[in-house]
Amino acid sequence: MYDAMQAETVTITGHGGDEIEAYLARPLVVGPIGGVVVIHHMPGYDPETREITRRFAAQGYAAICPNLYSREAPGASPDDAAAAARAAGGVPDDRLVGDVAGAAKMLRSLSSSNGKVGVIGYCSGGRQAFLAACSLPLQAAVDCYGAFVVNTPPPESALRISPLLDRADQLACPLLGLFGAEDGYPSPEEVAELDRRLSELAKPHEFHSYEGAGHAFFAVNRPSYRPEAAVDGWRKIFAFFGTHLQG
Amino acid sequence: MCTYLTERVAITARAKGTPGWLKVTDASVYFDHPAELPAEHSLNIDLLAPEKGPSARVAVELDPAAALGLARAVLEMLASAPQGLLPDDVAAAARAHLAGAMG
């Protein structure tokens, strides 16, 4: 089996025409193959998220992770960039949508592309994956434990975002949701409310909540890592993207 | 969760990192995900020199008990410093905090 792949830092055109950094990983094949936009978690465009991006390439997808903190901290280390971005109140929603649009456009421009692009995000990126799926023409979306899709951030938080439930009717692709049953953000009640609303709207979606897992159970470098949930979650992700992004 | 809970404080201080001493003018104190500490959340302090860019930062990530211990130690040190070595109002405020909120 030929399994060569290439992974590199590239520049893409994001929101407002800004040039932003991104990490592109892809199998060296003629195609046609699907694409995946990876939205990093709040701690940033870190080595673990770039490893996730390579994992999608190893599974046969062209994958790209835009550095959402490129503007606040060009060239800075991921932890310094994350500190600067959080001090500024996080990534504005419209900028996120523009950056994901730029990343998806880049994937579709590859000669190997089949034109299909999915999005996946973790932690704050889970909410942002849902936002992107309600705002852009994508073929599949995965929300990994994104908070504040249903509930409003606490008033003392500096996070300047709003819930997204009122946009659920604009969800334009199938959604896979992977959650920890012991997570408080999003809580099981919040997940259940989103599930209920998407069912009312007849939006194709598939939610799984793992017992014994809380927030960030995919994060291999954190004590929150739960191998059983993560291994099963990865299987579900690849089955889901296989259905919606291949061919 | 990503809490984004932050207190921003203007400071007069120096902090040593790489490559050397920084004239820091701002501090962010926040409770959120750490980058390095093996915990889901931590009390984080960034000492910043914003005019030098985001990498001009001296950062610590403390578990909550360590943060409380550090805060108490800072207040005790200010409250017990020999008279005349620091402004009276600072010493009085430190003693008041120790007697009240942290007592």
pLDDT at B101 over 70: no
Rounded CA Rg of chain B: 15
- What residues contact residue A15 under an 8 Å CB cut-off, 6+ apart? A94, A95, A96, A97, A98, A99, A101, A102
Tell me how far apart the alpha carbons of residues A58 and A46 are, in angstroms, rounded to a whole number: 19
pLDDT at A209 over 80: yes
Q: Is A88 an 8 Å CB contact of chain B?
A: no
CB contact under 8 Å between B53 and A76, yes or no, is: yes
ipTM of the complex: 0.71
Q: Are strands B21-32 and A19-27 parallel, antiparallel or unpaired?
A: unpaired
CB contact under 8 Å between B28 and A83, yes or no, is: yes
Tokens of A30: 């003629």
Our CA-based measurement puts residue B80 at a distance from the nearest CA of chain A, in whole angstroms, of 33
Selection from A92, A158, A45 nearest residue B35 by Cα: A45
Confidence of residue B103 (pLDDT cuts 50, 70, 90): very low
Which percentage of chain B shows pLDDT scores above 90?
A: 55
Confidence of residue B92 (pLDDT cuts 50, 70, 90): very high
pLDDT at B42 over 70: yes
Please count the CA atoms within 13 angstroms of the CA of B89 that sit on its side-chain side. 0
Which percentage of chain A shows pLDDT scores above 70?
A: 100
Mean pLDDT for A183-201 is 96
Which of A159, A220, A224, A225 is the best residue to mutate to test the B interface, defined by the most B CB atoms within 10 Å of its own CB?
A159
Which CATH entry fits the domain spanning A5-245: 3.40.50.1010, 1.20.120.1200, 3.40.50.1820, 1.10.150.130? 3.40.50.1820
Please count the CA atoms within 13 angstroms of the CA of A237 that sit on its side-chain side. 25
**Domains of chain A: which residue ranges?**
5-245
Task: Point out the residue among A80, A159, A214 whose CB comes nearest to the CB of B54.
Answer: A80
Per-residue DSSP letter, A14: -
> ∠ CA(B84), CA(B90), CA(B96), 5° rounding?
120
Query: What is the chain A residue with the closest CA to B6?
Result: A158
Chain B residues with CB within 8 Å of chain A CB: 1-6, 8, 28, 30, 32-33, 35-36, 38-40, 44, 46, 53-55, 57, 59
Q: Is A127 an 8 Å CB contact of chain B?
A: no
Q: What is the pLDDT of residues A167-191, one digit of tens each?
A: 999 999 999 999 999 999 999 999 9
State the SS3 of A152-221. Answer: CCCCCCCCCCCCCHHHHHHCCCCEEEEEECCCCCCCHHHHHHHHHHHHHCCCCEEEEEECCCCCCCCCCC
Q: What is the pLDDT of residues A107-142, one digit of tens each?
A: 999 999 999 999 999 999 999 999 999 999 999 999
Mean pLDDT for A196-205 is 98
Query: What is the chain B residue with the closest CA to A74?
Result: B54
